[in-house]
Structure 1
């Protein structure tokens, strides 16, 4: 462990794992960054109709404002994490937050679709620089019970931000503050970003998290960055852009080339590590059973989570005729139970260990099955109130499955690799989200007759939603099946 990480962890250890004083402020700053990054992945969805109307944007341009963010964000997460290992988590958090805040301001002032898309990409780049540092800070600054509590707060923040992105977006458009309409969904990041910058400068630990002097003992693996970016672009590109493009030949070629590109990246990383170099991702990480299994679980879990959010939002607005605000508020029960379970997780972990994850994924699967049965039984009479119990159960299961997963996966990771390991884990989640939205979106579209047309009959939407929930249940069961290597005692 480095001098920085030892010094940062010592205060928490001396207080028997309790968080108090400066560590609470550090956690608050880290969670502000988490909230911004997660919220911005969802907040734009409800603004798309207004963006199209005011900027005279095509449907493809409006969708690219969302998918372009996902693409750039997914490409840069690992690199952002590794840069934090080399040059310090605080420095990268500050740089990333500055980029994100300025890009948010520019996106809010955009006068045409192309400018908006460009600054959305810049937002994603900034988020990819600062977000991996959050997991690095939680891993390095906190220890023991304090770390479990910090990850619980992290999980609760993810749940709140996911829902707040849709609910706050709908509310801001509804209120039309200062007559700015949809622009407020970007401008809201400016005060949040400024607060995060002030707090990070005052509370995040200074120095480097990588062994040795940054830029001297270690350097950024540029070849690894290129190879990994190519592999992720070949995978995430068609997943985020393929459906709106009609799945042309290049999307299938790209997906087919992703695996060889990933193999080339792994071969290069092993070669570089064997020569004593500084790889972008330490190949030894994947020899940690919990790290390898946890990343696979993250793909399946976040695929189901994001896929459900995407399809349910479509059904609420297009099939059930809900307004953006009403659709966002339908997710509130899920967010409340998610946050509650996240905060209960540390106490349960102290007693039952990693088997809390088993409970979480079982409860999540039961809630998904309950939602499937509810949708099938209610038919066109389905309402948000009828779905409330099942959504609450799903949220509770997800809450028990997020923060313990993050903590368990990163538990055996050396401090010098905390940033890049966090970037890998977040990338696995991002790939899972892209897969979930794409696969379940395709299933929903196929069941609906190949269209997301809002004019389709309500019963067609109900049938499509029910069919898609079967796929969602399959992903929940897949996450359960991957658990044994992670929860088994070592």
Structure 2
């Protein structure tokens, strides 16, 4: 029980920090006299560095123990949060946001390793259900918490509270982890000999992810200059070079960053593809819905954040219900979840089309609640199914791969659906676009979101097929 609670505290902190800063952007710009590009980098830099290091963090946990890496990562994250909250200029804030991401990338993959190793049978299914519920709460409630902390201006710290809140949370998590997390076996224990970190693999994978992630994160704001397309193109040979190196290293008995044998597990390979499609649709919906609520409908950041609450509630409820349904329907609970998610997306599309300029947050609530329920049935069973056949010695790196797939999907979703949204908007950004133009763009973009939901369903057969 306490082990699960500590693991979920780490999950909540790492996911929440991807979202909590968004609503504090205006206050940060004003107090630090920061440019929009600097504040954008403070927000996106966390996601970028975090995504780059997840696989490496997971592999380090395999090599040196999940408990040790969880503790180190939590210390780094907590100290960086304190420093970010005390930052006196934009450059310092950006640097310590990156340090936060390093800490999160060290401890977060260990959560999946702990759940995979410590819990078995029905207890494991329940643990993954709680994990899924925590992800939903952190990703959606994070925006509301950020708005609330900024609005309340506790102790006169204003926006700094969105970082400083991690200090007591981090300290409590650190104490709990030191007392409850098991030491576990390292790769050295399992193999009977030491096996170092694959530094060449780290370099090649980081290069590929960097070439992919930087243009996806910054390209839209920069207007898609030539370097963004060159970077995206160069990501392909970099990824191929990484795969070739990993196979050669494994063939000669080395210790690759990602064991190529993992992708011969059909559930692992298909599950990562589903994660890309699912999280692309999820993140893309959050992005365009936030634009619609704030720019198109004139909602305040706090009101916009609260509109997501029904989705968070149904997501969490479905996550907790998933183990019981999985006991009855097996892996077909994933089919049910993604079907409900697609139906909710279709309902949201129809609602937006019928309501038109008269759209309100309340009108969107029923469809958002259905989407949240479908997503809740689709996350925790997906994680459990994908990692079920993974050897314990590779649990950390496998979890890192799965989380990286989700991060790449989120970047792709925001980029692709964002491009579709602004193209449908006709190039009129910000306050220059009329509310009905935003509504039309939102409706068109939801069609793209529905396509991603259907793509996730189409990738399901390898996971739900009987072994």
TMscore range, shorter length:
over 0.9
Pairwise CA distance, 1:213: 7.1
Q: TM-score, normalised by structure 2?
A: 0.99
| Alpha-carbon spacing, 1:215–1:308, altered in 2? closer, same or farther (3 Å) | farther
**Aligned mate of 1:128, from 59, 83, 105:** 105
- Paired position in structure 1 for 2:142: 165
Query: Could you tell me whether the CA contact under 8 Å between 1:86 and 1:215 is conserved in 2?
Result: no
Q: TM-score, normalised by structure 1?
A: 0.94
Matches within 5 A, 1:101-112: 101-112=78-89
- Paired position in structure 2 for 1:38: 15
Q: Deviation string for 1:86-127 (max 9, x for gaps)?
A: 000010001101111111111111111111111111111110
Query: Could you tell me whether the CA contact under 8 Å between 1:337 and 1:399 is conserved in 2?
Result: yes
- Paired position in structure 2 for 1:284: 261
- Paired position in structure 2 for 1:62: 39
Q: Deviation string for 1:71-95 (max 9, x for gaps)?
A: 1011000000000000000100011
**Aligned mate of 2:337, from 344, 355, 360:** 360
Query: Could you tell me whether the CA contact under 8 Å between 1:368 and 1:394 is conserved in 2?
Result: yes
In structure 2, what is the Cα distance between the partners aligned to 1:44 and 1:468? Answer: 25
Pairwise CA distance, 1:241: 1.1
- Paired position in structure 2 for 1:234: 211
In structure 1, what is the Cα distance between the partners aligned to 2:37 and 2:180? Answer: 42
In structure 2, what is the Cα distance between the partners aligned to 1:437 and 1:341? Answer: 25
Q: Which moved more, 1:417-426 or 1:45-54?
A: 45-54
In structure 2, what is the Cα distance between the partners aligned to 1:465 and 1:214? Answer: 53
- Paired position in structure 1 for 2:416: 439
Q: Structure 1: where are the runs of 5+ without partners?
A: 1-23
2:307 corresponds to 1:330:
yes
**Aligned mate of 1:349, from 326, 343, 357:** 326
Q: Which moved more, 1:447-456 or 1:131-140?
A: 447-456
Query: Could you tell me whether the CA contact under 8 Å between 2:190 and 2:393 is conserved in 1?
Result: no
- Paired position in structure 2 for 1:457: 434
- Paired position in structure 2 for 1:254: 231
RMSD: 1.1
In structure 2, what is the Cα distance between the partners aligned to 1:209 and 1:467? Answer: 50
In structure 2, what is the Cα distance between the partners aligned to 1:72 and 1:451? Answer: 31
In structure 1, what is the Cα distance between the partners aligned to 2:320 and 2:144? Answer: 22
2:274 corresponds to 1:297:
yes
- Paired position in structure 1 for 2:388: 411
2:467 corresponds to 1:480:
no
In structure 1, what is the Cα distance between the partners aligned to 2:183 and 2:20? Answer: 32
**Aligned mate of 1:308, from 281, 285, 295:** 285
In structure 2, what is the Cα distance between the partners aligned to 1:451 and 1:287? Answer: 47
- Paired position in structure 2 for 1:378: 355
**Aligned mate of 1:74, from 51, 63, 66:** 51
In structure 1, what is the Cα distance between the partners aligned to 2:54 and 2:428? Answer: 33
